[in-house]
Amino acid sequence: MVVETSKNREVEKIVDKIVASGRIAALPDESLAMVELYGIDVPDYALVKTVEDAVAVSKEIGFPLVLKIASQDAQHKSDVGGVFIDLKNVEEVEMNYYKAIDNLKKNVPDAEVEGVFLQKQIPEATQLIVGGICDEQFGPAVMFGLGGVFVELYKDVSFRIAPVTEAEALEMINGIKAYPVLSGYRGARKIDIGQVAKTIISISELVTNCSIIKEVELNPLFAYEKSVKAVDARVILK
């Protein structure tokens, strides 16, 4: 069931482009564009293919910046030396533009470079993960958890079958063991639970409406006291 709305049509356009280029994984800018269409707030970003564009775009986005290699052959960008943070001026952008490409070539010689991804660096926050999958048996489902090492090490996450209601989304948030940390336990930074719930619902809608998506993930989702922002998104098609 695909609901015909303008945002779905826009998402379909991006999907068509990915399929046309023979990929199943969306590039960072494509993934972010898709989740943005579903109302998820993301820091300014751009994918560039030349160093001149990198310089021009970085001036437009403003500093500090994060620079990442964009290649479907490098799913874990930091493992291949493809992530640079805290870039403060155009010189640093220029230098690291080449460095990112060199590192990728060194680590994955046959890798195809799609370009370089630039994104506004935003202040530190509580890192969360919100994901969606299309399960073979049960269809669309969503996941919520603490991001970073917590998701890998402790798997402190909760799942629900999509589509989820607001009540279910809130249950998912307070269903993880680390919930007290999110709600200000002993002076921990409180986060905007309402916005997190909204984000879960958006991802739930995206996987429900767009049946070609196999997996979608916001990791990390930065959660502040009064807002949330998806720093990285990843969409994988079936």
Partner 1 sequence: MSLDKFFNPQSIAIIGATENELNITSAIFNNLFEMGYKGTIVPVNPHYEKVFGLKCCPSILDYEDNIDLSIITISSEHIPEILSQHIERKINNVVIISGGFAETGKRGIVLEAEIKKICRENNIRIIGPNCLGVLNNYSNFSTFFLPWSKIKRPSRGHLSILSQSGSYAASMLDMLYLEGIGVSKFVSYGNRVDVGESELIEYLTGDDSTRVIGIYMESVDDGRRFIRASRLCSCYKHIVVLKVGRQESGINAARSHTGAIAGRYEIYKAAFRKSGVLEVYNLEEFLDACKVLLMQKPARGNKILVITNGGGFGVAVSDMCSDTGLNLAQTPPGIREYLSEHFPEFFIFNNPIDLTGSAGDKDFGIALKTAFVDNDFYDAAIIIPLMPPPAMTEGVVDVISERAKESGKPVVVCTIKSVYTKKTKEKFESKNIPVFMSPERAVKAMNVLVERGKMDGC
Contact positions vs partner 1 (CB under 8 A): 25, 75, 129, 131-133, 135-139, 141, 143, 151-152, 155, 157, 159-161, 214-217, 219, 234, 236
Q: Is the dihedral of CA 76, 79, 85, 87 positive or negative?
A: negative
Assign 217 to helix, strand or coil: strand
Q: Are 65 and 119 in contact (CB under 8 A)?
A: yes
Kindly state the smallest distance separating residue 88's Cβ from partner 1, in Å.
Answer: 31
Cis (ω within 30 of 0) for the bond into 123?
no
Kindly state the smallest distance separating residue 156's Cβ from partner 1, in Å.
Answer: 10
Query: DSSP secondary-structure letter at 25?
Result: B
Kindly state the smallest distance separating residue 62's Cβ from partner 1, in Å.
Answer: 30
> Is the Cβ of residue 161 or residue 212 nearer to partner 1 in the bound state?
161
CA angle 235, 236, 238 (to 5 degrees): 140
Kindly state the smallest distance separating residue 129's Cβ from partner 1, in Å.
Answer: 6
> Is the Cβ of residue 98 or residue 154 nearer to partner 1 in the bound state?
154
Cis (ω within 30 of 0) for the bond into 163?
yes
Whole-Å CA distances, 196 to 51, 112, 208: 36, 35, 18
Kindly state the smallest distance separating residue 131's Cβ from partner 1, in Å.
Answer: 3
> Is the Cβ of residue 87 or residue 172 nearer to partner 1 in the bound state?
172
Kindly state the smallest distance separating residue 95's Cβ from partner 1, in Å.
Answer: 30
Q: Which helix (H) or strand (E) holds 179?
A: helix 179-182
Q: Are 212 and 126 in contact (CB under 8 A)?
A: no
> Is the Cβ of residue 6 or residue 137 nearer to partner 1 in the bound state?
137
> Is the Cβ of residue 51 or residue 72 nearer to partner 1 in the bound state?
72
Kindly state the smallest distance separating residue 64's Cβ from partner 1, in Å.
Answer: 26
> Is the Cβ of residue 94 or residue 215 nearer to partner 1 in the bound state?
215
Q: Are 153 and 160 in contact (CB under 8 A)?
A: no
Q: DSSP assignment of 93-157, as one string?
A: HHHHHHHHHHHHHHHSTTPPP-EEEEEE-----EEEEEEEEEETTTEEEEEEEE-THHHHHT--E
> Is the Cβ of residue 1 or residue 60 nearer to partner 1 in the bound state?
1
